[in-house]
Chain A
Amino acid sequence: MSSEQEQESIRCLVAKVGLDGHDRGAHVIARAFRDAGFEVIYSGLHKAPEEIVQAAVQEDVDVLGISILSGAHDTLVPKIMSGLEEYDAKDDTLVLVGGVIPEEDRPELEAEGVSAIFGPGTSIEETIEFVRENAPDR
């Protein structure tokens, strides 16, 4: 097989978890990722951590972007991370968190295995660049 036939595309799950209904940011990111040539699966609103895990595992995504604006990140993110671990998916999934995350909560999320946290004011280009550079090589 010649290498021309490989058609790899970065697959991302853009996930809204928990009870917050602010999906504008998730939509903007989903659209920007699409325009960057990624394949984006959008979860829809109000998903439980288990649903996000199921989608991430079945879709075999390279990148999981979790959007949380409710302030419940310290309970929701660890649930997702342990769910990923259960299916051996934690190590080779790049997990990003977007939203309003207080400075003092960041180390804890990073310790859970979150690779980057993008707060308000992050440019789209920066996010895309980060994904391109850090998407796991499988």
Chain B
Amino acid sequence: MNADDETLLAELLEGKHRALARTISKIENRAPGYRELISELYAQTGEAEVIGITGSPGAGKSTLVDKLAETYRERGETVGVIAIDPSSPFTGGAVLGDRIRMASTVGDMDVFVRSMSARGTLGGLSTATADAVKAMDAFGKDKIIIETVGAGQNEIDIVRTADTVAVLVPPGSGDDVQTLKAGILEIADVFVVNKADRRGSDRTVQELREMIELDSGGGFGGGGHHGADAADAHGGSAVATQNEHEERATWTTPIVETVATDGTGVDEFIDELAAHREYLVDSGARAEKARQRSAEEIRTLLREDVHAMLEDELERAGGIDDLAASVAAGETDPYTVADEVLSPVEDCLAELETRDP
């Protein structure tokens, strides 16, 4: 680590906002030395409670995050917010607008809001977000809230990064709820029916409840690390009650009704988040999650490294454009090209293996 990074690290741990901001930029830019920096930060992490907020575009995520941050601040806790917005697939540019909705806590530097674009490269979102969380954690934030882009495939990343995932469902999305079933029910630790003052919110709550009860039949056993959380049903069916007696390690996905614009239901929401946190600790699921997260991090880093190595190898083989051109000209095909590019790497590995007894 060079002297600049050491200063940066020291300043971040001292609590200088500018240093935290700069560290996150380094993480986002994959700037030289960012890995050493995070590796140094790593020992200081693990204290913060990481909450993920996801849901369809316009569900009220930013507004709810704003109220959440405000309420945590009233309770004397410091808050970090990472708000992710989509970036253009064509230019890479982005307009990051979530900050506008976060007006309640403006002027309070102990709420650190950072907008990030979903820079669309391999592993880009998940690693940068996870690393930014670490920076905020090491900085000493008590609560870190991640607001995802409107629900899509990124949901999966949020599960890997956050301790507790809240899924926002706006009322009147009856048909949508049906389609969201597979993806969203599986990742929700808490459901939030936002805009609960609108017509149709009762029905949405009802539909969600039915959905949870239906799925408690056991469709989730062993399916992903969220399986255990979602396996139990809301509504106190006989099975659920029995389970609670047998082992404490069950989590009933609660449904909270909120009106984010005026703060209704935010306290209940926070209580459910705290209850989930308690469940994670008591059941040992938190430790298990941490292990899985580390495993995933190691995999992602390795994938990035190998990817970088292969990019260099591609350059040596004549560059991707030329190779693509020769495929287009009918001289070769992508499979042959991939084999050819990879073969020197494979040769090296094979040689190492024979040398190593």
Contact = CB atoms under 8 A, between A and B. Distances in A.
Contacts of B29: 6-9
Contacts of B312: 2
Contact of A40 (B25, B28, B94, B106): B94
B304 interface: yes
Given A6-B31, A9-B92, A44-B100, A51 B106 contact: yes
Interface stretch (B15-23, B67-75, B211-219, B288-296): B15-23
A41 B304 contact: no
B121 interface: yes
B100 A9 contact: no
- Consensus secondary structure, chain B interface: mixed
Given A1-B308, A7-B121, A7-B124, A34 B106 contact: no
A58 B119 contact: no
A5 to B, nearest CB: 5
A37 B91 contact: yes
Interface residues of A, number: 36
Interface in B12-52: 17-18, 21-22, 24-25, 28-32, 35
B330 interface: no
A70 interface: no
B25 A38 contact: no
Interface string A79-91: 0000000011100
**Interface extent on B, as a size class?**
35 or more
Interface stretch (B110-118, B194-202, B274-282): B110-118
A127 B56 CA distance: 35
B224 interface: no
B114 A34 contact: no
Contacts of B206: none
Given A9-B117, A87-B18, A39 B109 contact: no
Contacts of A9: 28-29, 92-93, 117, 119
B93 A4 contact: no
A38 B99 contact: no
Interface in B86-138: 87-88, 91-97, 99-100, 103, 106-107, 109, 112-115, 117, 119, 121, 124
Contacts, number: 108
B244 interface: no
Nearest to B123: A5
A36 B88 CA distance: 10
B93 A40 contact: yes
Contacts of B97: 41-42
B88 A57 contact: no
A58 B112 contact: yes
A4 B95 contact: no
Given A7-B124, A58-B113, A43 B94 contact: no
B311 interface: yes
Contact of B95 (A1, A42, A48): A42
Considering residues A6, A41, A54, A88, which has the most beta carbons from chain B within 10 angstroms of its beta carbon? A41
Contacts of B31: 6, 8
Contacts of A31: 95
Interface of A: 1-2, 4-9, 11, 30-31, 33-44, 48, 50-51, 54-55, 57-60, 87-89, 138
16 contacts: A1-B30, A4-B308, A6-B30, A7-B119, A9-B93, A11-B25, A35-B93, A36-B91, A37-B92, A40-B96, A41-B95, A42-B96, A51-B106, A57-B18, A58-B17, A60-B24
Interface of B: 17-18, 21-22, 24-25, 28-32, 35, 87-88, 91-97, 99-100, 103, 106-107, 109, 112-115, 117, 119, 121, 124, 304, 308-309, 311-312
